[in-house]
Amino acid sequence: MSLLLISNILLWITTLSLAALVLALARQIGVLHERIAPVGALAIDAGPKVGDVSPQFDLVALDGQALDVGRPRERAMLLFFLSPTCPVCKKLLPVLRSLRNSDAQMLDIVLASDGELAEHRAFCQAQKLGSFRYLVSTELGMAFRVSKLPYAVLLDGEGRVRAKGLVNNREQIESLLNARELGVASLQEYRARQAAGGGRA
């Protein structure tokens, strides 16, 4: 009987010790989560700067419909520069579909690239991109100084650049929208401002 009592006491001590350990680990995870900065789109200091008026273009999309870029419009426009041969670009297409469906009333997503029209038509068909507006224009990429893909530029309804950068995952695409809401060029700038404010305090 005494052995059973001792074993029960030891089990309770072990259980309480494990519970305390789990609580301590959970607290540490919370602290680490607060300290880790969100990784936003990598802003490249080339082309029109955030806040600048966008270059204006009157273009024709792959569907044959006219599409202007950089002029005032009802909704914001996210220009997503991609290539049919870019695997990361293809990986992000479902993200763009999801984003378009959730923000359809506030945001137009436009795909953009350059090269041969036939290649892009085949790519559109293979990836079922018929519901997106798709521009093929060398001048558009040059105007925004797009040198690496995938790259995205967010234009507001007034035709101004609100955010831009390299995007390799959903979080980085969403960071462009978050940066616009926060009134900064990028989440990196937002974190830098927070750190500077903390340093002064």
Q: pLDDT per residue over 142-176, tens digit each?
A: 999 999 999 999 999 999 999 999 999 999 999 88
Structure tokens given for 190 = 């937002």
CATH 3.40.30.10 holds for 57-200:
yes
The per-residue pLDDT for 186 is 57
Please state, for a pLDDT cut of 90, what percent of the chain lies above it.
Answer: 65
The per-residue pLDDT for 190 is 57
Q: Going by C-beta distance under 8 Å and a sequence separation of 6 or more, which residues neighbour residue 50?
A: 43, 161, 162, 163, 164, 185, 186
Interval 41-93: pLDDT, tens = 666 667 899 999 999 999 999 999 999 999 999 999 999 999 999 999 999 99
| CB neighbourhood size of 188 (10 A) | 19
pTM above 0.75, yes or no: no
> Would you list the domain boundaries of the chain?
1-36, 57-200
The span from the CA of 134 to the CA of 121, in Å, is: 9
The per-residue pLDDT for 130 is 92
**Does residue 28 contact residue 133 with C-beta atoms inside 8 Å?**
no
The span from the CA of 166 to the CA of 113, in Å, is: 15
